[in-house]
Structure 1
């Protein structure tokens, strides 16, 4: 029995040795490269079309008309809904030190926009320059005259409160009026407004031009409207190549999604503001041109602005200055104190 056990053991060792020998004869298998390394980097194909207010590429030709909505900026109306999906937002003073936004939508369709607030004549003029359908809830005397005259296609919460416009239960009037995007379309169709064509496009930089933007370093900018309650700060985030917007030290986010407002262009334009009646009403000169700043990719250049057929555009050396493709915020500030006193720019 002992001899048999030894024989089995010897046979096992012999087979193991043969197996090792055969294995050693096989050529060494090459080490597989990481999957990421094996991938061939392919250029992103250039899309045939682009959105007119953002310059972002599109597979199909965007032909839908823009909607321009007056959005409340009172502290009790924050955070707002849908601002992060606007192609371009204009911020102007309403009364006193209170600013409101004109949020313009063409490339995106937010589920809900608001709180919606009342119109002033200069918001109407800007919306008209983009051939957009104008949305507001309420109006000044001058704005009401313009709307009633048929100056612009519009929907107003004064006529559609509780139908197209919805009241939120978690806020009190006048800071709780919202309009779903689908209701804007319904209202436009009900009133026979045309839903095309798309607005005339702004000028945008190419990818190569974006990589070589000139200007001095501007990683932060504070825009004064007289009080911190309405004076925003923009901070550049180099990790994503965009500016974030802050108010009273808090980053602005969307109410529903909590997504931050991320901007590719900050355009600041200095305009003459003059008193226009009781309660702090004012006129804003949108036509005469003036000084401004354009912030892009952590840099800033001084520009002029012009009114080009109703559109406020930045101008450099006599030519329209191009935007970085993406979203834009336009701060219109009073010329009275001077632009240098209204803006603080920091390199860090």
Structure 2
């Protein structure tokens, strides 16, 4: 696996900046309203995000905004795994997972969803960086086996970029949440890396469509990577480069309504990441029809080819795009 640059060492900023960060954090995340408030607090039963300790061997997961106003995002290119999740209004949100290296900052950071909790159970007490959550979801986050790291008055891990509009301007500095990256052994995803399998078919690009968002992955022979496009535009890093994973997984899953909704009555989609189903694995300019299986919430996800053999991924970053198996628009 690739190794990134470690974050800065822990320090404490002045009271004025902390107060400003707290006030701004309250506005971050999903839309608030009666009975579905997002207050940005860190759950009381978890460690304070101001202490850069983390859990030994735990990954850092960051919820990242993905509307047009949030782009280009910062720090995605350093993630080991990027999950693409459906959210309200047919849009998408990202969860970036870091184990082998930390970038200086990641963002814009946005709010958590119910299905994040099951997805993160595959890791050993991960740290989840998020801007907040609906008030009725917070008790579930309290009880989840993770370290919740939302902005609070004791944290200088979060900063606002005053040149970008809120709520698309909250960033987290991983080195102030965790002392150091845990290493590749913390990536208990079930993913296996190795030589390309036999079979598959050559493909130049693959497009996945959500009701209000789209992703295109175009093979670059010169870079040996899949160039990411979002909503018809090249997906770029903060410094102008291209987001380019080595492996892309289009994972067909069941999507149901979460128990939680915003003040408009829009229920959050719940991604059923435990179970089994069909998938397509893109690597080395080819697509492989596959089957995925995740036996329980604490398990990673195994991928096998049509002949039943294990399907290895290419070394490097992996993007997993969750699509509703009932949504024919997501299929080729």
Q: Give the CA RMSD over aligned residues.
A: 2.5
How far the C-alpha of 1:269 sits from its partner, in A, is 0.8
Q: Unaligned stretches of 5+ in structure 2?
A: 4-55
Return the index of the structure with the highest Cα Rg. Answer: 1
- 1:110 and 2:103 aligned: yes
Determine if contact 1:267/1:314 at 8 Å carries over to the other structure.
Answer: no
**Aligned position for 1:245:** 228
Offset from partner CA, 1:245-302 (integer Å, 9 cap, x none): 01133211111x2221111111011111122343232222122211111011110011
Determine if contact 2:248/2:281 at 8 Å carries over to the other structure.
Answer: yes
**Aligned position for 1:10:** none
**Aligned position for 1:329:** 319
SS at match of 2:103: coil
Aligned pairs (5 A) from 1:1-348: 51=1, 64-131=57-124, 132-141=126-135, 143-157=137-151, 159-160=152-153, 163-185=156-178, 198-200=186-188, 202-206=190-194, 209-210=195-196, 213-227=198-212, 230-255=213-238, 257-276=239-258, 277=261, 278-308=265-295, 309-316=298-305, 317-338=307-328, 341-344=329-332
SS at match of 2:186: coil
How far the C-alpha of 1:161 sits from its partner, in A, is 8.4
CA–CA distance in structure 2, aligned partners of residues 306 and 320 of structure 1: 12
| More moved, 164-173 vs 122-131 | 122-131
Offset from partner CA, 1:165-218 (integer Å, 9 cap, x none): 1111011221111011212226x9xxxxx9687233644343xx33x6531111
Count, aligned residues: 270
TM-score (ref. length: structure 2): 0.74
SS at match of 1:272: strand
Change over 3 Å in CA distance of 1:96–1:314 after alignment to 2: farther
CA–CA distance in structure 2, aligned partners of residues 240 and 265 of structure 1: 13
Using CA pairs under 8 Å that are at least 6 residues apart, name the structure with larger relative contact order, 1 or 2: 2
**Aligned position for 1:60:** none
CA–CA distance in structure 2, aligned partners of residues 92 and 181 of structure 1: 22
Change over 3 Å in CA distance of 1:149–1:322 after alignment to 2: same
CA–CA distance in structure 2, aligned partners of residues 204 and 246 of structure 1: 25
CA–CA distance in structure 2, aligned partners of residues 116 and 64 of structure 1: 23
Change over 3 Å in CA distance of 1:238–1:342 after alignment to 2: same
CA–CA distance in structure 1, aligned partners of residues 165 and 71 of structure 2: 12
TM-score (ref. length: structure 1): 0.71
CA–CA distance in structure 1, aligned partners of residues 72 and 289 of structure 2: 31
